[in-house]
Amino acid sequence: MDKTKVITRIAPSPTGSLHIGTARTALFNFLFAKHYNGRFLLRIEDTDPVRSKKEYEKDITEGLSWLGLDWDAKTQNEKRKAKNINSKFKTENTNYYHQSERLGVYQKYIKKLLDKDAAYKKDNAIWFKLDSYPDDIIKYHDLIMGDLEFKKDTFNDFVLIKSDGVPLYMFAAVIDDYEMGITHIIRGDDHINSTPQQIMLYKVLGFNLPKFAHIPLILNKDRTKMSKRKNPVSVGKDFRDQGYLPQALVNYMALLGWNPKDEREFFTLKELEKEFDLKNVNKSGAIFDIGKLNYFNNHYLQQLSNDKLLQFIMQNEKRKTKNNNAKLKNKEFILRIISVVKNRMNTLLDFDQLSHYFFKLPNYKSDLLIFKKSNKEKTFRGLHTTYSILHTTNSSRWNKINDLNNILLEVVKNESLSNGDVFWPVRVALSGQEKSPSPPELLWALGKKESLNRINIAIAKSQK
RNA sequence: GGUCCCAUCGUCUAGUGGUUAGGACGUGAGCUUUUCAAGCUCAAAACAGGGGUUCGAUUCCCCUUGGGACUGCCA
């Protein structure tokens, strides 16, 4: 880029949980800043004391961190400047910005506008005077949308400071972006129409214009905007808590509106930092497709080591139940289960469904033991022989899935049965399910004692 | 209504003044197999319409249509 250091920001209002749209905007701001070795800042726009809530602020910061979108901390100098002058707001001294601690700053610029006759007081509020902007046309170059042009007379004077003394977004954002030295304002294209008003403020205040980049919105299935108010899709509740991995969500969100101009589709955050540029962001909105997110999530789940996966499953379980789940105590056992069900998982939450029968054999009908191309006699014979051979099998042979597979094949051969006569009933005996990992995998995961126990139960059932 | 933005398979997208319009998800089929899943192979699936410009437009221009956003003392 050029000599000036890139500084971007994400400026959410804490009036709801971290929304998917905000997260995607944060991602683009983060990536752009990192790509050019710049800074990425977080500013909480909490000037609406009625709707703003601390819990939402917490959700937002936690969500950004979870995604790996760590903001650059305020400098010491910036920290010192922060001062809360309005009793309506309580703010701690965080390493990111709050508008509520900058109320004094806004006053300073309001005075300037008043002095210049660019603002006036009416109904106890401070209004911007459109006439103070000299031109009839406001134009700007958008890094994504191209050259944009607006007629001034389609706007009216607008409120800068409400009658209760609190500044409005339109004004506060301009002052903050200027004071924070924001070089690139990357935000949703729902802000295109309010940009001319902000540009007038920049000009009248004598500020240099930052670069604007309006990114296309994330859309619902019906192509309407996925909005924070109407479609509160939350990063924490709807993705993290539903068993999605941050790397999957990041990868998926990046591809919503941006692409690498070739056929690669898997990117880590680091790779995205390297590849991302506003030039490759397109103009039209993108529908959010949970199916494709699942695909990415499955992909990243497979990349995880079993140990890591165990760790995530425990974390998730903890978040859900608020205490340690007793059934997850036996780590060795869980690790074995993980390795046989892993590739069937789309989200971390799937583990429950895919693994319950390892912990407790479900009740099943004896008919289920009989393979569709088999009969009762063969089923019984298969189970019986399997039991006898496994019974005498040295537990050292139990460590290899392939050995266990060979044992089952031996049974098939010795009894002149078909694969289905043996494998199917063994599967049902071990899992009580018709869909499961392969019988040798089940044997291996369950261990010798439990496996024999379950086969015994099946033999008893098949005799009835 | 006004202002502004957008327009390639169902979805995310690549692409070029001359291409068999490419990839991915999803869908269907096949292979494999003891089931399901996975994996592999194959298939169906798109340039919104009309005018220009041009030897030639999916690509450039205009119009229409369609969709969306904004239109608060919200952000």
Does the domain spanning A366-463 belong to CATH 2.40.40.20?
no
- Which protein residue's Cα is closest to nucleotide B12 at C1'? A256
pLDDT tens per residue, chain A (464 residues)? 455 699 999 999 999 999 999 999 999 999 999 999 999 999 999 988 888 999 999 999 999 999 999 999 988 777 766 655 555 566 567 899 999 888 889 999 999 999 999 999 999 999 999 999 999 999 999 999 999 999 999 999 999 999 999 999 999 999 999 999 999 999 999 999 999 999 999 999 999 999 999 999 999 999 999 999 899 899 999 999 999 999 999 999 999 999 999 999 999 999 999 999 999 999 999 999 999 999 999 999 999 999 999 999 988 878 777 655 666 778 999 999 999 999 999 999 999 999 999 999 999 999 999 998 888 999 999 999 999 999 998 888 899 999 999 999 999 999 999 999 999 999 999 999 999 999 999 999 999 999 999 999 999 987 76
Same fold, A7-81+169-219 and A366-463: no
Contacting residues 226-245/A vs strand B (CB within 7 A): 227
Please write down the HEC assignment for all residues of chain A. Answer: CCCCCCEEEECCCCCCCCEHHHHHHHHHHHHHHHHCCCEEEEEECCCCCCCCCHHHHHHHHHHHHHHCCCCCCCCHHHHHHCCCCCCCCCCCCCCCEEHHHHHHHHHHHHHHHHHCCCEEEECCEEEECHHHCCCCEEEEEECCCEEEEEEHHHCCCEEEECCCCCECHHHHHHHHHHHCCCCEEEEEHHHHHHHHHHHHHHHHHCCCCCEEEEECCEECCCCCECCCCCCCCEHHHHHHCCCCCHHHHHHHHHCCCECCCCCCCCCCHHHHHHHCCHHHECCCCEECCHHHHHHHHHHHHHHCCHHHHHHHHHHHHHHHHCCCCHHHCCHHHHHHHHHHHHHHCCCCCHHHHHHHHHHCCCCCCHHHHCCCCCCHHHHHHHHHHHHHHHHCCCHHHHHCHHHHHHHHHHHHHHCCCCHHHHHHHHHHHHHCCCCCCCHHHHHHHHCHHHHHHHHHHHHHHHHC
**Is the ipTM of this structure higher than 0.90?**
yes
Answer for A193: CB within 7 Å of strand B.
Answer: yes
Contacting residues 69-108/A vs strand B (CB within 7 A): none
Nucleotides of B under 7 A from a protein CB: 2-8, 10-15, 22-26, 33-38, 67-75
Does the domain spanning A7-81+169-219 belong to CATH 3.90.550.10?
no
Domain boundaries, chain A: 7-81+169-219, 304-349, 366-463
